[in-house]
Amino acid sequence: MKETILDIIRQTGRPMDGEEILSAAGGMLEDVKAALEELASTGRIMITRRGKAALPEQLGLTYGRVQCNARGYGFLIPADGSDDLFITAEGMGGALHGDMAFVRRTDRGGRGHSDRCEVVSVVKRASDKLTGTYESDGEFGGYVIPDDPRVAMDAMIPPGSEKGAKHGDKVVVRILQYPGSRRPMIGEVAEVLGKAGEKGMDILSIIRRLELPDEFPSAAIKQAKVFGQTVNEEDVKGRRDFRGILTVTIDGADAKDLDDAISLERTPTGLFRLGVHIADVSHYVRAGGAIDKEAYKRGTSVYFPDRVLPMLPKELSNGLCSLNPNEDKLTLSCVMDIDMRGKVVKHSICESVICSDRRLTYEDVNAMFDGDKALRAQYSDVLPMLMEMRELMGILRARRDARGSIDFDLPEAKIILDKDGQARDVKLYVRGEANKMIEEFMLAANETVARHGLDKDIPLMYRVHHAPEDSRIEELNEFLNTLGYNIRKADNLRPVAVQKVLLKAAGSPEESVISRVTLRAMAKAKYSPDCDGHFGLAAECYCHFTSPIRRYPDLMVHRAIKDAIHGRLNEKKRKSWLSRLPEASNHCSDREIAAVEAERAADDLKKCEYMQYHLGEEFDGIISGVVQQGFFVELPNTVEGLVRVTSLLDDRYFLEEKYHRLVGRGGRQFRIGDSVKVKAVAANMETGKIDFELVEERRHKERTKNSERKKSFSGSTQHKKDGKIAKHKSKRGGTRGGRKKGNKKAGRKP
């Protein structure tokens, strides 16, 4: 019905009212009405002020998501994938960050600039709430300063709507009136979180701002407790029994949700038999139940420096489903026979039961690989298997490299908190051989399951990563050419072509800049019902199978695989899967994006908190990004701050976006990847932003100030010596007038 209505409006070539559409479509009134509402909610049609339905292009409109800036202006990210449009502060029309809206172009931006537009209509609000700090105006109520800097206006709180909030409290506001060209944003306090600065308040504010659920419904908790904490013998029947095979888990020291275990044997023919045993969450979390509904809503676990928002209740995530040592656990196993070239020559996927022999940590396994005698003696029972696993890891990695897999080994931070939740240290998290070994084994299992699903025609949710757009590669090549590099066959790009450039740059001074810029040219991975391959891994088939405790897509893959194992994939079941997968894939992709945004916001805030204790200190860093306002500098521990272009005193600088550099009129330039020395000058906890200044610029400022002080001191001494002249000038009003003017300037508010 929706496509029929669109065709009718398109062929008519003008806006149509409901009766015209109903007559032309020939359907039931309820069906036409529902179709129109859905089309309007997704921006495929617009309802005019006269109540007529029109296609956006018929009205000269573009539909998309509004992306705002702290300075009040923003951009429209069109839903059709076309170029972004610039929205001036005056043209926002009351739209807030994340809103879906229609805009109308007002003028062309010219070469190198986005076209300008203005918001005509907001179709869907991103949220009806915001989080911020309450400021009291006494009897006149107050206002809330939003935590999100992209919301450029405060929310007015009328008297009586404070709901107990005190001056300085962190609160959640329900928006009662959205802003417009002539009206303010008005709201009421929906929840008082506590005083700003209290332990954990900063992370809680992020959780509320991004509307992440942090409590489970009572029905889900009740259901989780019914299962208990031990595996029933009845549940073990019919499963493949791996309890007699040496099996271990390897995770971070503080991990509690252990969802993967591994085993390794040698077959009589000399093959590696790798067992990847994954917690069988689907045995407990049945589709449509209370736990499942909440897990789907969350989509993924979210990890913060001081807490975790798990996808499943802790009774499952940390208890019954977690593969804790010396406990029988239900699993779904992918057992692969792998030859010396790293090829999976045979595999089986089955319901199973395991009993993990050891709970190992990355740190301990890395130390054993480095020759730690004490740990090798302590874990002598599993050491031979670990050494064979290390060998297999090298074989699998070599095979992946040979096919062109791209590895962006991005730096990660480990944030150390004190007992009060304050960030006291930020360290670079180093991935050792043990980390990479588990990564290779999980990649192998994910790829094997995806290939199995494709070959057996099992409807799966795949993890896809498309090749970058030709235009992005053309821009990338323009930049690479300036450094003597080039991606060949850019019009028919293969992963190996990108890999060759990265390998050529390895160990060179420009390695960092090439890696960063190349990564930014890549497309984003997402979930899809279609097996479109994974460009970054150079894999034809890939899905997520190995983390069902913390990712909903893995849980869906498990269910589909088990439907196939038990012969439940009849035509009706297959159609059901195929109808659900598109929407579920989009939802899981959106929840992943939200989780990444939340984790990044929390990390940035804690890094900012850490830098408050290091203001005035000097650091070596690398330029990690270049914008019109200046350039970002990343320190070795991943802390990032902005060097503002206004702090560069020697010249005027202009952004050359496609070359990722700021260039001065005198030829001096600052380019992504350049090494610089900076001083930390500001850390704003309200915005989570850190400001740096180049050390040489800072010293120049200080020398200039000292010179001015000396001149001022010298002038005042001379003034005393020439007291009679000064007194005479004072009577004439010249000196007094000058002093008066100077005092006024010094006391002016910034």
pLDDT for 288-317, tens place per residue?
999 999 999 999 999 999 999 999 999 999
Rounded to an integer, the average pLDDT of 270-298 is 97
Crossing angle of helices 695-721 and 723-732, in 10° steps, is 90
How would residue 81 be classed by pLDDT, with cut points 50, 70 and 90? confident
Query: Is residue 709 over pLDDT 80?
Result: no
Q: Quote the mean pLDDT of the chain.
A: 88
Q: Cβ(63)–Cβ(78) under 8 Å?
A: yes
Lowest mean pLDDT segment, chosen from 96-100, 174-178, 510-514: 510-514
According to the per-residue pLDDT averaged within each range, which of 37-51, 67-81, 172-186, 329-343 is highest?
Answer: 329-343
Lowest mean pLDDT segment, chosen from 375-379, 539-543, 693-697: 693-697
Distance, first Cα to last Cα, the chain:
60
Higher pLDDT, 484 or 738: 484
Higher pLDDT, 273 or 196: 273
Kindly give the pairing relationship between strand 328-338 and strand 308-309. Answer: unpaired
pLDDT for residue 83: 82
Q: How far apart are CA 544 and CA 464, in angstroms?
A: 10
pTM score: 0.84
pLDDT for 671-690, tens place per residue?
988 899 999 999 998 888 99
Kindly give the pairing relationship between strand 169-177 and strand 308-309. Answer: unpaired
Distances (CA, A) of 671 to 163, 292, 473, 497: 51, 48, 19, 24
Rounded to an integer, the average pLDDT of 659-667 is 91
Q: Cβ(292)–Cβ(285) under 8 Å?
A: yes
Q: In the chain, pLDDT over 70 holds for what percent of residues? A: 92
Rounded to an integer, the average pLDDT of 401-411 is 87
Rounded to an integer, the average pLDDT of 126-147 is 91
Burial of 325 (0-12, 13-18, 19+ CB in 10 A): middle
Higher pLDDT, 264 or 148: 264
pLDDT for residue 725: 32
Rounded to an integer, the average pLDDT of 119-147 is 91
Lowest mean pLDDT segment, chosen from 190-194, 436-440, 519-523: 519-523
Considering just the CA atoms, what is the radius of gyration of the chain in Å?
A: 31
Query: Is residue 332 over pLDDT 50?
Result: yes
Lowest mean pLDDT segment, chosen from 284-288, 326-330, 384-388, 500-504: 500-504
Rounded to an integer, the average pLDDT of 33-39 is 83
Query: Is residue 489 over pLDDT 80?
Result: no
Structure tokens belonging to residue 736? 């007094």
pLDDT for 203-229, tens place per residue?
999 999 999 999 999 999 999 999 988
Structure tokens belonging to residue 595? 């989780």
pLDDT for residue 472: 87
Residue 118 — φ and ψ, nearest 5°? -135, 150
Q: In the chain, pLDDT over 90 holds for what percent of residues? A: 66
pLDDT for residue 716: 44
Helices (H), 16-167: 18-25, 29-41
pLDDT for residue 490: 64
Q: How far apart are CA 466 and CA 537, in angstroms?
A: 11
Q: How far apart are CA 101 and CA 87, in angstroms?
A: 12
Q: How far apart are CA 169 and CA 192, in angstroms?
A: 7
Burial of 323 (0-12, 13-18, 19+ CB in 10 A): buried
Q: What residues does 670 pair with on adjacent strands? A: 662
DSSP 546-601: S-TTTBHHHHHHHHHHHHHHTT---HHHHHHHHHHHHHHHHHHHHHHHHHHHHHHH
pLDDT for residue 681: 96
Q: How far apart are CA 187 and CA 185, in angstroms?
A: 7
Burial of 705 (0-12, 13-18, 19+ CB in 10 A): exposed
Q: How far apart are CA 490 and CA 493, in angstroms?
A: 5
DSSP state of 316: I
pLDDT for residue 697: 63
